[in-house]
Structure 1
Amino acid sequence: MSDIEVIEVSKQYRIAPGGGPRRLRRLNQVGARKEHWALRDVSFEVGRGESIGLLGKNGSGKSTLLRLLGGVTQPTSGEIRVKRKVSGLLTLGEAFHPLLSGEENAITGAIVAGLTRRQALGRLTEIAAFAELEDFMDQPLRTYSDGMRLRLAFATAINIEPELLLIDEVLAVGDIRFRDKCMRRLNELRESGVSAVVASHYMGQLKAVCDRALWMADGRVRAMGYVDEVVERYERAMEETAPVREPGGMAAKRFGTGDVEIVDVKLVNAAGTTSATVPAGSSVTVVIEYMAHKEVAEAIFGVSVHSVADGIRYLDFSTAADGQSTGTLKGSGQVQLHLERIALAGGTYHLDAGVYESDWEHTYDYLWQALYFDVASADAGVIQQERTWSME
């Protein structure tokens, strides 16, 4: 049984003369000139209790598709059949008002989603507790940070008896503890029969909460299938199409806007010297030197480590996932990731490094294979596990 059927859906906007993305106009508006197809011939289904991940580069059509599923806008052609009650962060965002308090916005969002006012009032305690905003619910929404607003929207969406959730990048907000709580709750809802469509730039989160994935490219479906398989194909394609530059002698494929540029990546051992070989279980620090060509607030730095032998990603870290503030970047600087005991067993690995906008919306710079290093170990396995033996 399908909760959503999307049948050959296309969405066209026309851009008014002199207008940019903020002035996209509907097809039938007077003065529209330039055609822009945000979606072309998109078809897929979402089964009962299934969670689908949307992935793709900026401008690929993910947000447009979510807005169509939420009824915020209508397709130019094709048909969308949504068979269950929608609870989505996009639709809630349309209902939220900056001058109303958090409590008033939560009530409004719940009513928009189909609850009575009495039912909405009965959910306020749970909403405030999940969002961890008990002390701020009487404050106007305009005083909330972006993270607080999304926490309120997420908490409202999951506490109004959802049947179908539409989520756009909410899991990129908050500290690691709060995001883990969100992902646990999403999995609980999925197990109870709630369906979901989740858009994210963070592949690890999609793999944690989704069954299948839809890869969007230029408004079309590039691939759809099991989430692990689609993510692997997407990451491989991104690597193959990345332009090659060589900053500071690093041989690395890279892409990004360049507003913040990674100028060097090095591995420092426990002795404080740069090294391409580290003993398994030893302390190691990844040093990322950057140049911010404009002021950037709360950029996200990420590091992942892959085995050269099999291509598997064994380590994946980010400042956002670990709740580390990066402040405001301006000019040159460095970020250090310290690993007290590197858990990898013997072998050769490559390290990727990236820096992103605070909401993951844009990639400032991403380097594949920024450096290679060897882990020296007598162990034959993949992970270096601390252990003891005893004989009795």
Structure 2
Amino acid sequence: MKKVIISLFILFAVSVLSGQEANLWNNIRNSAYTQDNQMYIRCETIDLPNAQTELYYLSDNEWEFAELTQLDGVTYEAVVSGNPQEDLYCRYRTEADTIITMMAAFVPNDDFPVQLSQLGFVVEDAIGDNLEGEENLDLTSEYFGYSDSRFYAAMTNNSDDFPTDSGGWFPDEYYFYIAGIINPETVMQDTVMYGMVYCNIPFLAEPGLYKISGDTLNLDTIERIGDIEYEIDDNQLIMACNIEDLTSDENFGDWPNLSNSIGLQSMTNLFSAGSQEFGFADLVNVSFQKFDQYVVEAFENELPQISEISFTNLGILTNISCTYFDANANFPLVAEVETHHSDGSIETYELSHISVDFSAPVNYSVQIPETDWTEFVIRFSDNGYQYSEQTVQNTSAEETTLSQNRLSIFPNPFR
């Protein structure tokens, strides 16, 4: 491995440390389940020309992609399917230029082997960009995941196998397939990288978890510190290591670390039997794996409550406000005011809010361009088919007169 490889990892660590307090996915929140068992999930994220954010959710033990739609500004929404009787696991992935930041994919069953669909897609890599070696050293994609006790890494190549040497009784070359891992908060102190390594040089190197010290790769700078599990299926290499074997190494640093993350970069190398030197072949873009996820625990839905309704006549406008509270911390899919008039006409206006913390009461308000209404109905729904409503009469004294809370069940408009 050339010095530039670990240097890239160090630069990545610096960028992570300088921005570790920044969160790419803010105010993540969800609705209740609709009649179709769909849930709406929103967050605020970065909106840059070269940044792309994606949402994935766990369904039948496999990670499914959910398309994000920009609602306004930096607010994005996705619709996912789930079972209200089960916990729902979701995670975000953002790719900006050459760095990927993502919530690592959780593997609930903590088993091995696993399928690629159980891991999180990290990045694709161009075909034919390996600097040395044959197609087996040409990486095409990378995946990552974790369980309660394991880290999982997978890579695919532009071949149908992962040979460990060039063949024959006395091979000229030996091949290394490395899922490189760093602790971004300690790598600058000691320049140590770790890797799940698939290789086989008789009496010298075998598959395992390795510590790589310094900024070059040779047989003197690598130390085997643990076992790995591995499986090869055509062009897929899947590996797993015990988290404790990695984090208990004296050079790894505290775990969990402050950013609750690791840096990941898969690469391939070849070792020349003649020169006894390593050559760099290929690598994928670096990624920042954050051990966090958005979990919606199974719940029985309680309809939202409406309180503190008020209105003010502003001459040609009426200002209407109220407080919304949802015991399940769901945001509403419907938040509206419906005004009724003496001639039988009806107008509908959307309520707006500032706070997005739906674990607490949230104020909603709207200014409507009318004052001659006879009554208005405030209506909320967190699932799109069951509604909480309150009606307010327009009295001559301009005092708020409330009707009783009312529950309505309408056809599902999201169906």
Q: TM-score if structure 1 supplies the norm length?
A: 0.25
The structure with the largest strand share of the pair is: 2
Larger radius of gyration: 2
Q: TM-score if structure 2 supplies the norm length?
A: 0.24
